[in-house]
Amino acid sequence: MKNPVIELTGLTKLYGSLKAVDNLNLEIAKGEIYGLLGPNGAGKTTTILMMLGLTEPTSGKVSVCGYNATSNPVVVKQKVGYMPDNMGFYDGMNALDNLIYMARLNSIPESMVKEKAIELMELVGLSKAMHKKAGTYSRGMKQRLGLAEVLIKQPDVIILDEPTLGIDPAGVREFLSLIKELSKQHNITVLLSSHHLNQVQQVCDRVGIFVEGRLLASDHIDKLSTHLFSQNANVVKITLGHPLHNIEEYNQQLRTIGGVSAIEVHGNNIEISCTRNATPEFVRFFVEKGQDIMGVQLKEYGLEEIYHRYFENTLTENETYGKSGSLFQRFFFKKIKK
């Protein structure tokens, strides 16, 4: 990748013996929208804090816009707009004053501060409520105010930590499309972290799956799904009019169709996994059997499934190695103590 805006090399952060971030390597190009996905406690926020120089990495290097974020955080913070997940505003001040305060801190010329703040309030759709106290704002309004504050410094990079948390679905869609629009208009690089997968799916160019401090995969969403579900990439769900009676017989006959790897029957619904798309053959098969087909659905893998799959894998690994080890240890130490 040529001149990445964000470049993490061998980034590691230890909290005591806990590895919050484990040897992370990541490059994000200019103008890209990158989604950092992972469950709570995966180390997403820690990674973001290290990018801003708000916490020091144990080892490794963070470079944002060509500057080292650990040794030179103030330059980085001039270029990066950061919206934390749990942000607060000065409740006693009105929203506009909050924004003006941040604008002044970013050394925006005093003569332009106010008009610029008002302009941004209009952009994020808060022009009617800008003289209200920030304490009276709803979650969604605060989120927008946060975005206005991020934008007022005219950043090259925007980092959003859980931007969709606590907003209703319509608000999320609006918010994300606003971010996407801005990113495309001004060629701003966006990094957003989330555990809301389908929301991120709509806007991200690339995503990274982040579990227990490690980046398990980092690519375009469609590439991720083909990579992960190569064995049974196609799952067809067929809904019948009546429940099947002689399931075994159907099973055997279905398996004769080439490529079928698994069949699951839940009452009216039959799920057939197949290495190729054999939907017409399945439909023909059931029609010949005289079954009423109510619906046929080809399952597409969203981020949710991808995420689940990755998450499941790490869980099972833990169970097979980690847990048994500790059980053994406990057993062993008990004996010694006696």
Partner 1 sequence: MENPVVYFKGFFSKKSKSNMLIVAGAGNVVTHRQQISPFAVIVRKEIGDHVRTWRFIVLLVLIVLTFVGSMYVSMTHLTNTAAISTAPDKGLLYLKILTTTDGSLPSFHIFMSFLGAILGIGLGFDAVNSEQQNGTLIRLLAQPIYRDNFLLAKFISPLIVIATLFLSLGLLMIGGGLIITGVFIEMAEVLRILTFIMLTVLYVGFWLSLSILLSVKFKQATTSALTAIGIWLFFTIFYNIVVNMVVKAFLPDPAFLSQMDILDYNNLILSFLRFSPSQLYTDATTVMLMPAIRSLGPLTVEQMAGAIPAPLSFRESVLIVWPQVTGLIAATVMCFAISYYWFMRREIRT
**7 sits near partner 1 (criterion: CB under 8 A):** no
Shortest CA distance to 22 belongs to which of 7, 40, 8, 3? 8
CA dihedral 38, 43, 44, 48 (to 10 degrees): -170
Cβ distance to partner 1 smaller for residue 148 or 209: 148
Stretch that binds partner 1, among 44-52, 176-184, 205-213, 292-300 (CB under 8 A): 44-52
Query: x-or-dash pattern for partner 1, window 172-201, by CB under 8 A?
Result: ------------------------------
**66 sits near partner 1 (criterion: CB under 8 A):** no
Question: Which residue among 4, 24, 26, 149 contacts partner 1 (CB under 8 A)?
Answer: 149
Instruction: List the interface residues with partner 1, window 73-102 (CB under 8 A).
Output: 74-75, 77-78, 80, 82, 84, 86-92, 101-102
CB 44 within 8 A of CB 193: yes
Cβ distance to partner 1 smaller for residue 84 or 125: 84
**104 sits near partner 1 (criterion: CB under 8 A):** yes
**45 sits near partner 1 (criterion: CB under 8 A):** yes
CA distances from 101 to 73, 106, 112, 138, 149 (A): 20, 9, 13, 20, 10
Stretch that binds partner 1, among 71-79, 215-223, 239-247, 254-262 (CB under 8 A): 71-79
Query: x-or-dash pattern for partner 1, window 107-146, by CB under 8 A?
Result: x-xxxx---------------------------------x
* Number of residues counted as binding partner 1 (CB under 8 A): 33
CA distances from 21 to 41, 57, 203 (A): 10, 9, 25
Q: Kindly state the smallest distance separating residue 248's Cβ from partner 1, in Å.
A: 57
**269 sits near partner 1 (criterion: CB under 8 A):** no
Instruction: Report phi then psi at 281, rounded to 5.
Output: -65, -40
**52 sits near partner 1 (criterion: CB under 8 A):** yes
CA contacts within 13 A on the Cβ side of 114: 2
